[in-house]
């Protein structure tokens, strides 16, 4: 029950503060560990855009102490409608923690229809499962 309360509190803070973190950047991510209800710092994340049948790398980053990357989209580019993929390198994260995981990386493919909006992708993570959704 305590873990659930911590997780729900973290999710609430995530939703409220993601806009503040994004300050002008159209894409942010947040990784939370469901086992302990805490942020997941040190997760490597890549952003790619689908171009034809291929994925083109746009940027990469590492989650901070709050488990966030507030500005994942490259500052020198403009977000356009299309399909994008965020890949969370979870295997590296769990290996550093001395834990096994079933998912060495988690790709999240999403479609941008309105390039004027902010897109926030939270990842709720455990060694043998995950969940994600479109945040605000």
pLDDT in tens, 52-77: 999 999 999 999 999 999 999 999 89
Statement: residue 11 has pLDDT above 60 = no
pLDDT in tens, 117-129: 999 999 999 999 9
pLDDT at 2: 56
Question: What band does 136 get if pLDDT is binned at 50, 70 and 90?
Answer: confident
- Does 134 appear as a known binding residue? no
- Does 128 appear as a known binding residue? no
- Does 30 appear as a known binding residue? yes
CB-based contacts of 134: which residues, under 8 Å, 6+ apart?
110, 119, 120, 121
pLDDT at 22: 44
Of 51, 44, 54, nearest in space to 123 by CA: 44
Q: What is the pTM of this model?
A: 0.82
Place of tokens 């490259």: 74
pLDDT at 14: 46
User: What is the set of domains in the chain, with CATH numbers?
Assistant: 2-132 (2.60.40.180)
Percent of the chain with pLDDT over 70: 83
């Amino acid at each position: 029950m305590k873990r659930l309360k911590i997780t729900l509190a973290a999710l609430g803070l995530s939703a409220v503060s993601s806009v503040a973190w994004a300050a002008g950047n159209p894409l942010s991510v947040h990784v939370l560990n469901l086992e302990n209800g805490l942020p997941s710092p040190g997760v490597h994340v890549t952003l790619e855009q689908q171009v034809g049948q291929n994925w083109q790398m746009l940027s990469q980053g590492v989650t901070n102490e709050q488990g966030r990357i507030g500005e994942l989209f490259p500052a020198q580019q403009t977000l356009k409608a299309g399909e994008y993929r965020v890949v969370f390198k979870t295997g590296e994260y769990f290996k550093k923690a001395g834990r096994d995981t079933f998912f060495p990386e988690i790709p999240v493919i999403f479609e941008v229809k309105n390039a004027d909006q902010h897109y926030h992708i939270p990842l709720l993570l455990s060694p043998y499962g995950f969940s994600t959704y479109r945040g605000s």
